Amino acid sequence: MENAKPLLEVRRLGVQYPVRGRWPWSARGRLRAVDELNFNLRAGETLGIVGESGSGKSTLARALVGMQTVDAGAVTFDGRNITKLDKKSWRPLRRDIQIVFQDPLASLNPRMTVGRIVGEPLKTLYPEISTADREGKVVAMLERVGLSRLHLNRYPHEFSGGQCQRIGIARALIVQPKLLICDEPVSALDVSVQAQIINLLKDLQREYGLALIFIAHDLAVVRHISHRVLVMYMGRMMEQADREILFASPSHPYTKALLASAPSTDLSPEDQRDRQMLEGEIPSPTNPPPGCVFATRCPMADEHCSRQAPHVRLLANGTAAACHYLGSA
């Protein structure tokens, strides 16, 4: 896996929203929801994406599946530039890139039976498959996610949240995509159900060799499923590291504070002692700080940080981090 060419390459990605309205607004009336973001993803790999609310995680997810216009940078999938495709060109790509959303019930059409919901992507994207074969595949997929043919003719409202998310996963995976993007797939579910869905996703990933982007604000969940983790703040990448390294010895002051603020993560004894909780408010995204975007809340920040945005640097342990006070490898 180490030497394989990335399935997904994201380079200097930028997504902006127009901001209408009142003072204060940024110079061009644009909110930079995702800014200068870089990462790679390989087949079979899971990249967890974490960050506080408003850090740009969902915007990134939507941009990667063509639901949000990209303003800058490039997205390459399987060697093909997919940055600015129109709707029609996106269609065949839906065989390869699928998304699962946060609210399981809301993301399923209430007027369709489960059989139709799960079969629909196959019908649209693989019209050559016969009705009988399609039905067979739908039943097999339902069984794979822990449901059965007895559920085929039922409607979404007849299911629990966890079951609805299983249906959402079945609908996404029935076309056998290469990349699955999960945007907060378990945050609406009870904790016990969360674990079942996470384990299901891990099993399916192994089975199908899926690349997974897993977005969540719950660090314990991300820790459980990810190989690598990307930490975002105000649209920017703060740190990107292997899962073990990130949770055992985070580098960026933002990551340290994020971990220290999370009740469910177990830090090393030294890090427990130095616990530096996240304090202060996130600055207005329409009027971000001029230098490092984290400077206004960072315990290490000085004048330089407030003036100049740091570049992302590669550290000796392989972590990439954007902080003036973290050295190069």
Ligand X SMILES: Nc1ncnc2c1ncn2[C@@H]1O[C@H](COP(=O)(O)OP(=O)(O)OP(=O)(O)O)[C@@H](O)[C@H]1O
Which chain residues interact with ligand X by CB under 6 A? 17, 31, 33, 51, 53-59, 217, 285
Min separation Cβ 57 and ligand X, Å? 4
Give 60 or 145: the residue with its C-beta nearer to ligand X.
60
Q: Which H or E run contains 200?
A: helix 191-208
> For every residue of 150-169, which 3-state class applies, written as one string?
HHCCCCHHHCCHHHHHHHHH
Give 151 or 223: the residue with its C-beta nearer to ligand X.
223
Distance CA 311, CA 5 (A): 25
Give 26 or 249: the residue with its C-beta nearer to ligand X.
26
Min separation Cβ 281 and ligand X, Å? 13
Min separation Cβ 102 and ligand X, Å? 8
Give 107 or 163: the residue with its C-beta nearer to ligand X.
107
> Which phi and psi angles does 213 have, rounded to 5°?
-110, 120
Min separation Cβ 62 and ligand X, Å? 8
Min separation Cβ 170 and ligand X, Å? 24
What is residue 99's three-state secondary structure? strand
Query: Position 74: which residue type?
Result: A
Min separation Cβ 70 and ligand X, Å? 13
Query: Position 180: which residue type?
Result: L
What DSSP line would sit under 100-146, residue for residue?
Answer: E-S-TTTTS-TTS-HHHHHHHHHHHH-TTS-HHHHHHHHHHHHHHTT
Give 34 or 122: the residue with its C-beta nearer to ligand X.
34
- The CA distances from residue 194 to 9, 101, 191, 212, 213, in Å, are 29, 14, 5, 17, 17
Structure tokens at 123: 């019908």
Asked whether the beta carbons of 96 and 163 are under 8 A apart, the reply is: no
Give 54 or 146: the residue with its C-beta nearer to ligand X.
54
Give the residue among 68, 147, 134, 50 at the shortest CA–CA distance from 108.
Answer: 147
Min separation Cβ 188 and ligand X, Å? 12
Give 16 or 251: the residue with its C-beta nearer to ligand X.
16
